[in-house]
Amino acid sequence: MSTSSAAILGCAGTVLSAEEAAFFRDVRPWGFILFKRNIDTPDQVRKLTAALRDTVGRPDAPILIDQEGGRVARLQPPHWNKYPPGRAYGELVANDPLVAREITRLGARLIAHDLTSLGINVDCVPVLDVPDPKGHEIIGDRAYGDTPEQVATLGRAAAEGLLAGGVLPIIKHIPGHGRAMSDSHLELPVVKAKLAELDARDFAPFRVLSDMPMAMTAHVVYTAIDRRRPATTSKKAIKQIIRGSLGFDGLLMSDDLSMKALSGDFKQRAKDSLSAGCDVVLHCNGDMDEMKAVMAGVGKLSKEARRRAQAVMGRLVKVPEPFDPAEARARFDAAFDGRYAG
């Protein structure tokens, strides 16, 4: 842990190249992230996760994936089950929030079962963004509902289902992407709402789940906090809001550095994110030249980041909660009338 670099990196394909293996051994990222390009069969994924961990010499090194359900799911049939988007849980039983909460937790517990069988121990879930009716559809049905209360309640249920199954959750996109009018993958969103409005709606679910082990930043400018910089690279947003009023003391990671919302070269993006207060930076696409540039701006985990990283790994349960996957899946499918079966 003490020698890890403050980065989470991707790889290009379904197997590690010799160049990638040598690079990862040299730079020793804290963790890795998988995308659809890295996924073929269960056996192949297991070999890849083992190979990635071998490069850094840590058998529990974090390996992340975006397995939300709906349109954001890297594991797909026929090898893996389908899962609904977050919104489907919120709409499940509108007059019985206890049922919605139970099924949300069950869905996450099933996803955790899928992931741990592959050697994946972190899921970039739950989405805690509260969508604005006028906001960009990049969040849309990924949100659990339209109110901070619903998003917080079902977000916690999902996080608890993952934790019980031996998978770490990541709350995203802190302090809130729902009001953004554009997609931060493509351009920099600017949110001009007043701080009181943001605090009451957008920030609220993150305050409720501030005890979670990890959070991913939003590449969004909030003019009420910092008129120039998105939260990822804003000392004000991280110190005053994320660490301050929201009370989040877990490991803070940037969203993907290759998204077009950020400016500057990759070395500068990495340096800006870390100097603003992120503990680790995320680079997803596996492009070797970009990764080398990112790592030129990244040092070892800071003392505080190391403390948080150790606390994160301490949240991984040694033995998952007892679980009958066949019975659980049958109950899950029944709740959705079989819409996501098969």
Q: Is the peptide bond before 173 cis (omega within 30 degrees of 0)?
A: yes
- Residues paired with 67 in a beta bridge: 73
Match 């909660």 to its residue by tokens. Answer: 321
Cβ atoms within 10 Å of 107's Cβ, excluding its own = 29
Q: Is the dihedral angle over the CA atoms 205, 207, 212, 217 positive or is it negative? A: positive
Residue 13 CA to residue 209 CA, distance in Å, equals 34
Q: Tell the residue number behind the tokens 């499918």, with chain if given.
A: 333
- Return the closest-CA partner of residue 240 out of 281, 276, 275: 276
8 A C-beta contact, residue 92 and residue 69: no
Kindly state the DSSP code that residue 231 receives in the 8-state scheme. Answer: G
Q: Which of 254, 256, 253, 255 is nearest to 286 (CA)?
A: 256
SS percent in the chain: helix, strand, coil, step 5 = 40, 15, 45
Among residues 309, 244, 242, the alpha carbon closest in space to that of 279 is found at 309
Catalytic machinery residues:
185, 255
d(CA 159, CA 148): 16
Is the distance from CB of 8 to CB of 281 less than 8 angstroms? yes
Is the Cβ–Cβ distance between 236 and 199 less than 8 Å?
no
Q: How many alpha carbons fall within 13 Å on the CB side of residue 321?
A: 16
